[in-house]
Structure 1
Amino acid sequence: MDSDTLEAFQSELTCSICMNCFLDPITIDCGHSFCRPCLSLCWEEGQSPRNCPECRGIEERPHFQTNIVLKSLASLARQARADHDHSSEEQICVTHQEAKGLFCEADQTLLCGPCSERPEHAAHSHSPIHKAAEESREKFLKRMSSLWKMREEMQLILNQEAKKTRSFKKYVTLRKVMIKFEYQRRHPLLQEEKKPHLEALKKEAKEICLQLKESVFRMTQYIERLREMYRELTEMCHKPDTELLQAMGNVLEMTYLAQMQTPQPVNPELTCWPVAGILDTLNNFRVDNVLTQTTIHHLSLDDASVMSGDDPQGMSRQLDGGESFVAWGAQAFTSGRHYWELDVTHFSNWILGVSKDILTSDTIIRINYEEAFLLFSEKVNDQYSLFTNSPPLVQFVKRPLGKIGVFLDYDNGALSFYDVSRGSLIHSFLPSSISSPLKPFLCLRSPR
């Protein structure tokens, strides 16, 4: 192939972003083609909507299939360029004065023909340099795909970590109010007892906020590191065959080590400080046998999907599905103060509290999510989440492992949950207007 023809051939197979031969080329909806890594970096760094770098047309789809024909032609173009520049790129074996045209993958070295037949190399697999280089580019592309996926996943985790930080700060503010309310409700003369509790909460919350801030910083730095490694691998793929082969081992090892050093998110958890004498006080309002029992195969909470707004896992809390043991009050409370305890020792997924209306059929129970005061526990990927509804709120406290106490102060419109074994407050729904009868409710959910 003469120089003019080669130049024209190369021009048609050149990415307009990096000005190199196509690497894993994709053709977008407007008909223009680019290296996948180039377009990924271009769109990742740019503003929405996504535009074609050439015609500026808007592209709706974020993902495209590899253009196999262009990929094959680009490989031929690289080989043609290598053959054309052979005299300047070849490496001569000092011993045999022959070009090193073979690559030994076992030793990661370039060899001439006679060297490949020597005892130390004879048992190894050898490939022509261009073939070995194209195979190495494929390995790089697979590693790049893995890096890009990790970057996207880490970005989601970072977003969740930032959201978790905001939620935690709001939660701490609310918890201070709950603690003050708890002591005030017990007796105005006990106000001095709340000060050590509030001071401990302030100190612990400050430490956790610092951990969350550092976590966000580490994740941001890691995402940037993955992006730079992706860019470096892209540049490496465009290197001449011999340079690519000689650097391959070190580069792949570097990226592998980086992938093993993924920063982990912080799971903030405040200490549940015991409230002295609280259980003795609550037992003055104790009621027994508040629940009737039945087994239901389907549980539905109206509008349950809104709970995703404060979900640390970023996933919709659709509670339909799975068999559930459900119990609710045969009689509703319409006044007074009432306290009862429920045992969740052997369950990781459960819901308890009070509800206004409970509608049942042979296989379905339905309660109105907005007219209930509920505490949820759910286990996802070995991570426990504790949260409440109305409004959705993650509870950043230790998960109770035994009995949970429920105290309904109907006349003041307040409901509180307690960790019986620790004698501590889990959460309080602060005073609000209640005008409807409320029934105790318990759901022990089987894993799906």
Structure 2
Amino acid sequence: MVTQCSFFFSLFRNMSSKSLWNEVTCSLCVKYFIDPVTLGCRHSFCMPCLCLYWEEGQQPPRCPVCKGTPHQLSLKTNIILKTRVFLARRTGPYDVPRSAEKMCELHGKTKNLFCKVTKEVLCLVCHMSAEHGAHTHCSVEWTAEEYRQSLLMIMRSVWEKIQENKRNLNRETNKIRTWEILYRLSYKGSLKHRLEKIEEESREIFQQLKESQYNMDLKQKLLKQIYEELKELCYKPDMELIQVRTEAWRLHMPRPVVPQLSAWPIPGLIDWLNQFQAYVALDNERVTHCVPVFEDLRCLLAVPDGPGVNYSSPRYKYFLAWGAESFTSGRCYWEVDVAGCCNWAIGFCNDSWTRDSDMVLDSEGVFLLLCIRENNQCSVFTASPLSPQYVKRPLGRVGVFLDFDSGVLSFVNVANSSLICSFLSCSFSSPLKPFMCSGHS
């Protein structure tokens, strides 16, 4: 091992300063690599530098040098390059100024050993003294490298928090954009004596969303500042770095607001709807592991993650079917029990959509209420167009009422006789078939 190290040290001393400098430094920060990663185009960068570059740049992420698109974003540390950087730090008087050697005032020898018990830098004679003889010691170089690795682990945790907060901030902003307009439309058909209470509740939730957005924006700036400071610590010379006392970072993340309007029971609603109850015979029943409508929804909800973060959707087994009969006029009402389902879709669609294997959400003639599990939270949406519905997720039977001639389609929570949402003033230009889909993990 000693012979191998001597060989590498000799090799590095014989290389030209410029050649070695180009090989072991990042073109973004122009300093020694920390946690080096290499893209498919063979250009290498510090992982933190690349993360920040991609965070502030345009999508999709590209190589900062050749502007090529990486084959994958889940990057791994280049161990060979990391070893070269470690050796270069020991032999080359390059980017950062090397710490002046500290001399032991008592023995007149260089202090190059670190006591892990007392956290002191010692000379060779001091470390064998009675005071330190039983302690664990390590060279300053290896201790500094351990500190850098510890800092990098903290940085990875901070980066994950940055991405988590970014996703939450984007979602909170989207909620704010749709909140006021959405609920004026959704509750347009509500009774007058309930409108005042609904609007008051909506204003309170809107204010909560604005405060949440403000707090998340502040947290995002703070997290990036912490990340930059940790990155700069990694660049410090060895002797300075080992004097730094890293503390446990407790990052309290602001939680997203989960807006939810109260359910307002409508006395006699279910009895009135039952007079239009229709028997729905199902056709084209099948079980599958992939329903495009849910994959489409997940893609719309997912926020692009940073490098090193792997997003994969959970696997579900879906049952889906269309009604055998199409409706072209009149009124009809039917119910579906969604108890135990975390992903489901209920409603009406036209004949062409049932024959379309893509089943995209923005198709015309699709009127669905959907529930989807995302990040251990179930959310309710309508399509099309895709709109979030901030109501409590139904846990039992959901009723579907179609008034074809009036252009109205409503969904109700049967358990508490309340309205979930309505499609109003629709133009049903083609026959509609009942559609249902349920998924279990």
Whether TM-score is above 0.5 comes out as yes
Distance in 2 between residues matched to 1:243 and 1:381, nearest whole Å: 42
Matches within 5 A, 1:17-416: 18=29, 20-25=31-36, 35-38=46-49, 40-42=51-53, 44-45=55-56, 58-61=67-70, 71-80=82-91, 88-90=100-102, 92=104, 99-117=110-128, 121-179=132-190, 183=191, 194-195=192-193, 197-247=194-244, 250-251=245-246, 253-254=247-248, 256-258=249-251, 261-283=252-274, 285-287=275-277, 289-292=279-282, 296-298=286-288, 307=297, 312-313=301-302, 322-324=317-319, 326=321, 329-357=323-351, 370-416=364-410
Q: Deviations over 1:308-363 (max 9, x none)?
A: 68x545599x999724164x5454433222233332233333222233339999xx
Change over 3 Å in CA distance of 1:11–1:166 after alignment to 2: same
Q: Which residue of 2 aligns with 1:188?
A: none
Change over 3 Å in CA distance of 1:319–1:19 after alignment to 2: closer
- 1:338 aligns to what SS in structure 2? strand
Report the aligned-residue RMSD.
Answer: 4.4
Distance in 2 between residues matched to 1:215 and 1:87, nearest whole Å: 46
Distance in 2 between residues matched to 1:301 and 1:14, nearest whole Å: 48
Where is the helix percentage greater, Structure 1 or Structure 2?
1
What is the CA-CA distance between 1:103 and the residue it aligns to?
A: 1.6
Distance in 1 between residues matched to 2:438 and 2:365, nearest whole Å: 20
Q: TM-score, normalised by structure 2?
A: 0.76
What is the CA-CA distance between 1:129 and the residue it aligns to?
A: 0.8
Change over 3 Å in CA distance of 1:36–1:350 after alignment to 2: closer
Structure 2 alignment gaps of length 5 or more:
1-8, 305-310
What is the CA-CA distance between 1:71 and the residue it aligns to?
A: 4.2
Contact 1:300/1:365 (<8 A) preserved:
no
Contact 1:102/1:128 (<8 A) preserved:
yes
User: Share of identical aligned residues, percent?
Assistant: 39
Letter in 2 for 1:236: L
What is the CA-CA distance between 1:397 and the residue it aligns to?
A: 0.5
Distance in 2 between residues matched to 1:120 and 1:349, nearest whole Å: 66
Q: Deviations over 1:281-308 (max 9, x none)?
A: 333x332533448852238867776546
Structure 1 alignment gaps of length 5 or more:
184-193
What is the CA-CA distance between 1:421 and the residue it aligns to?
A: 1.8
What is the CA-CA distance between 1:417 and the residue it aligns to?
A: 0.8
Change over 3 Å in CA distance of 1:438–1:76 after alignment to 2: closer
Change over 3 Å in CA distance of 1:314–1:394 after alignment to 2: farther
Change over 3 Å in CA distance of 1:110–1:178 after alignment to 2: farther
- 1:214 aligns to what SS in structure 2? helix
Letter in 2 for 1:290: V
Letter in 1 for 2:201: E
Q: Deviations over 1:114-133 (max 9, x none)?
A: 55446775554321111211
- 1:297 aligns to what SS in structure 2? strand
In the alignment of these two chains, the number of paired residues is: 415
What is the CA-CA distance between 1:176 and the residue it aligns to?
A: 3.3
What is the CA-CA distance between 1:430 and the residue it aligns to?
A: 0.9
Contact 1:296/1:365 (<8 A) preserved:
no
Contact 1:298/1:365 (<8 A) preserved:
no
Change over 3 Å in CA distance of 1:86–1:319 after alignment to 2: closer
Letter in 2 for 1:171: L
What is the CA-CA distance between 1:414 and the residue it aligns to?
A: 1.1
Distance in 2 between residues matched to 1:243 and 1:402, nearest whole Å: 63
Distance in 2 between residues matched to 1:169 and 1:273, nearest whole Å: 19
- 2:242 aligns to what SS in structure 1? helix
Q: TM-score, normalised by structure 1?
A: 0.75
